[in-house]
Amino acid sequence: MHELSIAHSLVESAVDAAEKAGARRVTRVLLRLGALSGVVRNALEFGYEITTKGTLLEGSELVIEELPVIVDCDVCHTQSTLDGLQTFACPACGAPGPRMIQGRELELQSIEIDVDEVAFGGDAVAEAPHALPTP
Ligand SMILES: [Zn+2]
């Protein structure tokens, strides 16, 4: 299942970015996925859930933006969105083999992180009153 290894490198990049940003937790991960990326969405979501366990990304939401295939035709110079992938031809003039300019994307677009807990000093502050000696 190659989605598992894709999920693994996706999680690795996101953890890396989160650590650099000083995040305590990642809440959302936004991914751009082209229709011809060759990735099965459900399998990727499943792999994501497994590989995020025990990382900063555990419990975060994977938001996938699906990108349609856009082609550019050399014959009539029209850019069009392909509705289906059964026929790979220019929808405007029918010429075969238009150039694909979008559709193979597999990109980590952005991550949303939670850094609030750091600002409040974490557990040490919350526990201080209980540490006072009682007479
Ligand atoms: Zn055309």
31 belongs to a structural domain: yes
Give the domain range for residue 62: 2-116
Residue position matching structure tokens 């609030």: 116
Is residue 125 scored above 80 in pLDDT?
Answer: no
Residues recorded for the chain: 135
Inside any domain, residue 106 = yes
Indicate whether 109 belongs to any domain.
Answer: yes
CA of 104 to the centre of ligand 1 (A): 21
Query: Is residue 124 in some structural domain?
Result: no
131 falls within a domain: no
Q: Kindly give the distance from the C-alpha atom of residue 33 to the centroid of ligand 1, in angstroms, as a whole number.
A: 25
How deeply is 91 buried, as exposed, middle or buried, from its count of CB atoms within 10 A (0-12, 13-18, 19+)?
middle
Tens digits of per-residue pLDDT, 3-35?
999 999 999 999 999 999 999 899 999 999 999
Spacing, Cα 72 to ligand 1 middle (Å): 8
Distance, in Å, from the CA atom of 49 to the CA atom of 86, rounded to the nearest integer, reads 32
Number of neighbouring beta carbons within 10 Å of residue 6: 21
Residues 33-65 pLDDT 10s: 999 999 999 999 999 999 999 999 999 999 999
Q: Is residue 125 part of a domain?
A: no
In angstroms, how far is the first alpha carbon of the chain from the final one?
Answer: 64
Check which CATH number belongs to the domain holding 75 and give it.
3.30.2320.80
- With a CB cutoff of 8 Å and minimum separation 6, the contacts of 60 are 25, 26, 27, 28, 29, 52
Q: Contact at 8 Å (CB) between 26 and 60?
A: yes
Calculate how far, in angstroms, residue 36's C-alpha sits from the geometric centre of ligand 1. Answer: 20
CA distance linking residue 93 with residue 81, whole number of Å? 13
What total number of domains does the chain contain?
Answer: 1
How many Å apart are CA 72 and CA 81, to the nearest integer? 9
Query: To which H or E segment does residue 84 belong?
Result: none
pLDDT value of position 117 = 54
Measured in angstroms, how far is the CA atom of residue 92 from the centroid of ligand 1? 5
Is residue 26 domain-resident? yes
Question: Is pTM, for the whole model, over 0.85?
Answer: no
Question: How far, in Å, is the centroid of ligand 1 from the Cα of 73?
Answer: 5
pLDDT for residue 115: 80
135 pLDDT band, cuts 50/70/90, is low
The reply to whether 43 falls in a domain is yes
pLDDT in tens, 56-95: 999 999 999 999 999 999 999 999 999 877 788 999 999 9
